[in-house]
Structure 1
Amino acid sequence: MDTGKSETLEQRAFLLTLVGVSLVFAMLLQPFWAPVFWACAISVIFYPFQKRLLARWPNRRNLVALLTLTLCIVLVIIPVLFVATSFVTEGVGLFQKVQSGEINLAEYVDKIKHAFPGIQSLAERFDIDLERIKAQAVQAFTGAGQFLAKRALAVGQNTFQFFLNLGLMLYLAFFLIRDGDSMIAMLIRALPLGDEREKLLFAKFAEVTRATIKGNLVVAITQGALGGLIFWILDIPGAMLWGVVMAVLSLIPAVGAGLIWLPVAVYLYAVGDMVEATVLLLYGIFIIGLVDNILRPILVGRDTKLPDYVVLFSTLGGLAMFGITGFALGPLLAALFVAFWGIFIREFNESEPAALLEQPEEASSGSD
């Protein structure tokens, strides 16, 4: 056999085996994708702090990684666990009140319907069955309560699994913080995409991950805190619970927190609390709403260099596909998609965009 053909066959066989081994390894790690992703996210988000510490102690990478991880635990992990525990506790308590009849959801819906008789006539005109909608709303709320109760029970039963994933995430985050630079250099050397392209893509990954997670979390915390505060001021029951719900829903751009405060404002109008309802409505539009309209484009859209509508659809798609992790993964995949196409257009179609840019100038000069 020809030596060149033999070497080509060996290379192809090796590459095929390499791809197969990599896929099997990826399947092996599949149960731990969430801890792996969040470990990568932690190392990216806290990289600036690590860099400052390394400037002071360049030869103490273990100490720097440990201090960086400790900061992450104090600022992020512990507060999230506290808020999540409070949310589940209040949510289960509210669900138990609904089950016992202490809170009658159907009665709340009836009050709104009677307070706004125009809704009934409008529904009849368009052949909308309000009773069926009421039943579905009550069923949806009850189902959400049951889901929350089951999840709380599941977390209690799978406490070992939860803390195992948390421990794996922190363990991996320590090594990614400590050795992240050398790992990225190794990947750049190993991947056959071209060093400049790989540096651009890794930089884009870090930029979008940092912007998406930090930006969305800042918006979520701000909207949740503002929503919980106004609920507490207006003496609406479960202010802590609804604040956390608004924080979670605010991960959905444009509409998130309004799914909570707007129906509550409508109910307050229905029961005659005009002042409280007006305060909540104006507060929701001009305070809570402006946080989303001002902060999100600045913290997320500007740094990711993605249009607002791309951020919206990629976030919704990510949440539908990956669950809560999707609020970061969705925009990240969208940004990598745009980056890959940007590289393709720049390197493989350089003449076409130039021609397209020149054509309008010629046409405009001719029209003059």
Structure 2
Amino acid sequence: MAITEKDIKRISVILFIALLAVLVFLILRPVLLAVIGGLILAYIFFPIYKKILQWVKYKSLAAALVSIFVLALILVPIWFLTPMMSQQVFEIFKFSQEFDINSLARSIFPSASEQFLAQVHISFTNALSKITSSILNSLVDFLLNFLVISLQILLVAFVFFFTLKDESKLREFVSGLSPLSRIQEAHLVKQFKDITQSIIYGQIVGGLIQGVFAGLGFLIFGIPNALILTVVAVILSVIPVIGPGFIYIPVGIYLLIIGKQLLAIGFLLFNLIIVSSIDSVLRAHWVSKKTRTSQAVMLVGMLGGFFIFGILGLIIGPLVLAYFITFLRAYKERTLSSLFSEN
């Protein structure tokens, strides 16, 4: 079959577009995570933007107000909490050096040999040293790369602002690129919306709120180094299957061991009744049972996403994996059959 001049032009256009796409990716690669972060934040705070837009009537003003609010929500805690976290990291490291783990291990395992107790002491000291060193290194890296991080935050704010302001134009542009029919597109968009709602609100935002409430428990009951424990609780709350119980239960057991039984009981009851119920309440409010994403998909997506994209991968990973599974399911159900038919 001979190649016509029309075929050559078509191939040339496709190659040119592919070349431009590669160049665009290379340009955006250093700031890609900041762009994605701005888009994700815009999705999270879009309901607030719509509410404010009803009052002020101007899209630019509404987007600016929400942008200022989100920047303050991010920067103010960083400004005030970074010095406190540094201090608490040093306190934990000092505590790890002074804490008599042998006495605690001997009280739990009265018949243990001295060799076993020595091994417990070494393992405990090494584990705490690695944890505190890791946190301290993260804080040092943050301070050393402050200028780069500031530029990234500004880019996030820029993307966030214009995504809110031009949301309708962006939606029309993406819809115009879709090769799907309107029925197919509406079906997939609804599924993607449910998935995004399930992961971002049901798991990420809900986990953050649950972790913050766990942190309030540390503060209310006077637990030492509450800020560091809160950060750990927030991270664990976001991860599926695990949850903040992996931090507050050991703390409660520690309080029991050192003889603070009433404090331990009150602390554990607070977490079991209030903190544990927050997850189910928020999930019921934001996500229906039919649209919840599998915990296995979220866990695998978060772990894989974290290794590739860092902290933002906790969101990107499960979203990409869930979207891919949705496309496979749509292909299996012949929802996308028109795209692969010869007619």
Aligned to 1:84: 78
Q: Is the 8 A contact 1:50 1:65 kept in 2?
A: no
1:343 and 2:330 are equivalent in the alignment: yes
Q: Quick one: which of 157, 162, 168 aligns to 2:155? A: 168
| 1:26 partner letter | F
Aligned to 2:18: 19
* Cα distance between partner residues in 2 of 1:170 and 1:299: 25
Aligned to 1:261: 248
Change in 2 beyond 3 A, CA 1:243/1:108: farther
The count of aligned residue pairs is 337
Long gaps (5+) in structure 2: 338-343
Q: Quick one: which of 312, 334, 342 aligns to 1:325? A: 312
Which segment drifts farther, 267-276 or 78-87?
78-87
Change in 2 beyond 3 A, CA 1:286/1:33: same
Larger Rg: 1
User: What TM-score comes out, normalization by structure 1 length?
Assistant: 0.77
SS at match of 2:166: helix
1:64 and 2:63 are equivalent in the alignment: no
Change in 2 beyond 3 A, CA 1:182/1:129: farther
* Cα distance between partner residues in 1 of 2:205 and 2:187: 26
* Cα distance between partner residues in 1 of 2:25 and 2:161: 21
- Structure 1 consecutive aligned stretches of length 4 or more whose deviation exceeds 6 Å: none
* Cα distance between partner residues in 1 of 2:313 and 2:176: 29
Change in 2 beyond 3 A, CA 1:259/1:245: same
Q: Is the 8 A contact 2:215 2:227 kept in 1?
A: yes
Aligned to 1:182: 169
User: What TM-score comes out, normalization by structure 2 length?
Assistant: 0.82
Percent identity reads 24
* Cα distance between partner residues in 1 of 2:191 and 2:48: 19
Q: Quick one: which of 123, 128, 143 aligns to 1:156? A: 143
Aligned to 1:7: 6
Aligned to 2:341: none
Aligned to 1:135: 122
* Cα distance between partner residues in 2 of 1:349 and 1:154: 47
Shift of 1:36: 0.7
Q: Is the 8 A contact 1:265 1:277 kept in 2?
A: yes
1:104 and 2:96 are equivalent in the alignment: yes
SS at match of 2:300: helix
| 1:88 partner letter | T
Shift of 1:218: 4.0
Shift of 1:203: 4.8
| 2:61 partner letter | L
* Cα distance between partner residues in 1 of 2:5 and 2:116: 74
